[in-house]
């Protein structure tokens, strides 16, 4: 039991660090590149993450098979050290913020939430993100069980299947810039979600082929929409409030991630794994109504500044 407790503690610490890192790097990116370069920069970041998602599981499986499962965890820990060294190598430094009265974190998050709640575009994206995270994590929390028990896939096959799914994210990172230029950033976002949401209903169909194709489509849609919405927030939000807005949005969006995982497990036991995946796919498809029936639908491009009129 002690080993499990240590593993859970490590997972909790890593998850907490990931949230802090996600909020910080989005703010830091604004200091590293010009506004016109944000889309390309976000594309490269999402692309590199997608490539890591493709190669990571396979490499971990290989190391675990040769040296034991602990080796995979050790390599993962070392990779974070390499990442920290790379960050230290960035020569450009952001300007120090002007000294201001110290405000409690809770007050800052509340200020960010008020800003989000008062803005149609941000409110729409946060609401959609929260429901989408619930559905996606309810779906992914049981997908390995589905592959192993319902489809009879072995450990090696599951690793290959999940790697193939992540290829969709790599393809999306390569194409999203062109898609945004041709159709506009807002329309490209809706296209990405229109690809990902229905695809979740295809994944539970009988056969590994359906799962791979559907999973790749979902991954492609998610990577594309993350690039576009992340760039939108970086351009649109006032610099002095960006960190608060990002943090408050993360509080709402991330709060549904564990809820989705728990809900997926409970429904999986009550209804069956395949049936639960269909339910989560239906929730994701229903969530698409949030951006479709919002001020985003008639837009070609996301606005770049608050109060800007776009068509």
Mean pLDDT of the chain: 85
Among candidates 19, 73, 13, 40, which has minimal Cα distance to 248?
19
Angle at 261 (CA atoms; ends 259, 262), nearest 5 degrees:
65
Q: pTM for this one? A: 0.84
DSSP 141-164: TTHHHIIIIIS---HHHHHHHHHH
Query: So what's the pLDDT on residue 8?
Result: 74
Mean pLDDT of 29-44: 82
Distances (CA, A) of 34 to 31, 38, 40, 45, 297: 8, 7, 10, 15, 27
> What's the rounded Cα separation, in Å, for the pair 290 and 128?
6
277 close to 142: Cβ distance less than 8 angstroms: yes
| SS3 assignment, position 98 | coil
Query: So what's the pLDDT on residue 281?
Result: 96
Find tokens 């490269």 and name the residue: 44
> What's the rounded Cα separation, in Å, for the pair 291 and 289?
6
Query: So what's the pLDDT on residue 15?
Result: 73
Q: For the chain, how many residues are written? A: 311
Residues 184-197 pLDDT 10s: 999 999 999 999 99
Q: Is the pLDDT of residue 310 over 60?
A: no
> What's the rounded Cα separation, in Å, for the pair 235 and 183?
19
Among candidates 251, 225, 257, which has minimal Cα distance to 134?
257
87 close to 203: Cβ distance less than 8 angstroms: no
Where does residue 265 rank: exposed (0-12), middle (13-18), buried (19+ CB within 10 A)?
Answer: middle
Mean pLDDT of 106-129: 87
Where does residue 36 rank: exposed (0-12), middle (13-18), buried (19+ CB within 10 A)?
Answer: exposed
> What's the rounded Cα separation, in Å, for the pair 209 and 154?
15
DSSP 294: S
304 close to 231: Cβ distance less than 8 angstroms: no
Among candidates 183, 149, 166, which has minimal Cα distance to 273?
149
Please report which confidence band the pLDDT of residue 37 belongs to, taking 50, 70 and 90 as the band edges.
confident
The alpha carbon dihedral of 255, 230, 135, 264 has a sign of negative
Q: Is the pLDDT of residue 57 over 80?
A: no
Q: Where are the beta strands (DSSP E) in the chain?
A: none
Rounded to the nearest angstrom, the gap between the alpha carbon of residue 296 and the centroid of all alpha carbons in its chain is 20
- DSSP H helical segments within 99-154, as ranges? 105-117, 120-140, 143-145
> What's the rounded Cα separation, in Å, for the pair 25 and 23?
6
Q: Is the pLDDT of residue 247 over 90?
A: no
Query: So what's the pLDDT on residue 48?
Result: 80
**CATH tag, 41-80+104-292:** 1.20.1250.20
- Rg, Å, the chain Cα set: 20
């Amino acid at each position: 039991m002690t080993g499990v407790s240590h593993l859970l503690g490590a997972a909790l610490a890593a998850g907490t660090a990931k949230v802090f890192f996600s909020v910080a790097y989005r703010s830091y990116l604004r200091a590293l590149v010009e506004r016109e370069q944000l889309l390309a920069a976000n594309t490269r970041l999402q692309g590199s993450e997608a490539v890591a998602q493709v190669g990571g599981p396979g490499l971990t499986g290989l190391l675990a098979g040769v040296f034991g499962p602990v080796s995979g965890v050790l390599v993962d820990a070392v990779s974070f050290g390499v990442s920290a060294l790379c960050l230290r190598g960035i020569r450009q430094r952001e300007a120090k913020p002007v000294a201001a009265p110290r405000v409690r974190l809770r007050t800052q998050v509340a200020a960010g939430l008020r800003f989000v709640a008062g803005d149609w575009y941000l409110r729409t994206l946060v609401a959609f993100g929260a429901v989408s995270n619930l559905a996606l994590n309810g779906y992914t929390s049981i997908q390995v069980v589905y592959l192993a028990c319902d489809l009879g896939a072995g450990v090696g096959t599951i690793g290959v299947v999940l790697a193939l799914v992540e290829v969709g994210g790599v393809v999306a990172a390569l194409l999203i810039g062109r898609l945004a230029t041709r159709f506009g950033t807002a329309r490209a976002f809706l296209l990405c979600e229109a690809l990902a949401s229905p695809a979740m209903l295809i994944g539970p169909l009988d056969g590994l082929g359906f799962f791979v194709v559907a999973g790749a489509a979902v991954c492609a849609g998610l990577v594309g929409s993350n690039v576009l919405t992340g760039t939108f927030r970086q351009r649109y939000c006032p610099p002095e409030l960006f960190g608060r807005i990002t943090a408050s949005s993360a509080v709402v969006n991330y709060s549904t991630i564990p809820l989705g995982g728990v809900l997926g497990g409970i429904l999986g036991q009550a209804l069956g794994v395949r049936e639960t995946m269909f339910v989560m796919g239906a929730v994701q498809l229903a969530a698409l109504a949030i951006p479709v029936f919002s001020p985003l639908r008639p837009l070609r491009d996301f606005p770049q500044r608050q109060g800007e009129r776009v068509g």
